[in-house]
């Protein structure tokens, strides 16, 4: 393990983790809302927001999948040291982290009727996030919201599977947005 893996975690873990968790829950409850999140200084190409998500939500019981482009020794070591999260194949991952081009061709667990929570949450790294593009409707949205998604068709199919399906976080630099499986996309 290289010494770079030992740095970049929360400086004040209890406060920063609580603040990050609140922001994460806020964007999940309000699909399409873009918020700032920080505290982590992960190795490239991870964004600050993606690193902060991992530090906040991952532990030794939450397997993480890293597709090509994000599957480097530096990132593996950083995740292992700071969270203890095991690395997994797509079919066993609680979280998957990467670019849309790396994640989209893969299939991830959608949960089961008995255990819809046994699905994979995807953390999608994007160049930027903006309140434009796809129209979002559903729980947590007063009328409609807009979010710059990499496509709309897959998210529309995902919402049709509710209560099964994947949940999504989108990250760009220090910014984060979420798209729960209950959100209808057009």
Give residue limits of the domains in the chain.
3-185
Half-sphere exposure of 46 (CA within 13 A, CB side): 31
Per-residue pLDDT tens for 3-34? 566 777 778 888 999 999 999 999 999 999 99
- 167 strand-pairing partners: 121
Check whether domain 3-185 has CATH 3.40.50.11310, yes or no:
yes
pLDDT tens digits along 55-83: 999 999 999 999 999 999 999 999 999 99
Query: Considering the chain, what percentage of its residues have pLDDT values greater than 90?
Result: 92
Binned at pLDDT 50, 70 and 90, residue 35 comes out as very high
Average pLDDT score over the chain: 95
How far is the CA of 18 from the CAs of 21, 57, 152, 168, in angstroms?
A: 5, 11, 32, 20
pLDDT for 96-105, tens place per residue?
Answer: 999 999 999 9
3-state helix, strand, coil in the chain (%, to 5): 30, 20, 50
């Amino acid at each position: 393990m290289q010494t770079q893996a030992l740095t970049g975690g929360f400086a004040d873990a209890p406060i920063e983790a609580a603040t990050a968790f609140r922001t994460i829950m806020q964007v999940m409850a309000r699909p399409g809302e873009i918020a700032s999140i920080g505290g982590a200084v992960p190795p490239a190409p991870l964004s600050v927001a993606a690193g902060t998500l991992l530090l906040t939500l991952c532990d030794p019981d939450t397997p993480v999948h890293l597709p090509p482009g994000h599957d480097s020794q530096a990132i593996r070591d950083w995740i292992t040291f700071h969270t203890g999260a095991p690395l997994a194949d797509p079919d066993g991952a609680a979280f998957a982290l990467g670019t849309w081009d790396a994640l989209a061709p893969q299939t991830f667990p959608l949960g089961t009727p008995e255990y819809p929570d046994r699905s994979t949450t995807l953390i999608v790294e994007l160049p930027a996030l903006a309140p434009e593009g796809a129209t979002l409707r559903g729980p947590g949205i007063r009328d409609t919201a807009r979010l710059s998604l990499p496509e709309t068709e897959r998210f529309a199919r995902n919402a049709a599977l509710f209560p099964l399906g994947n949940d999504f976080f989108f990250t760009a630099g220090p910014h984060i947005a979420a798209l729960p499986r209950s959100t209808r996309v057009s």
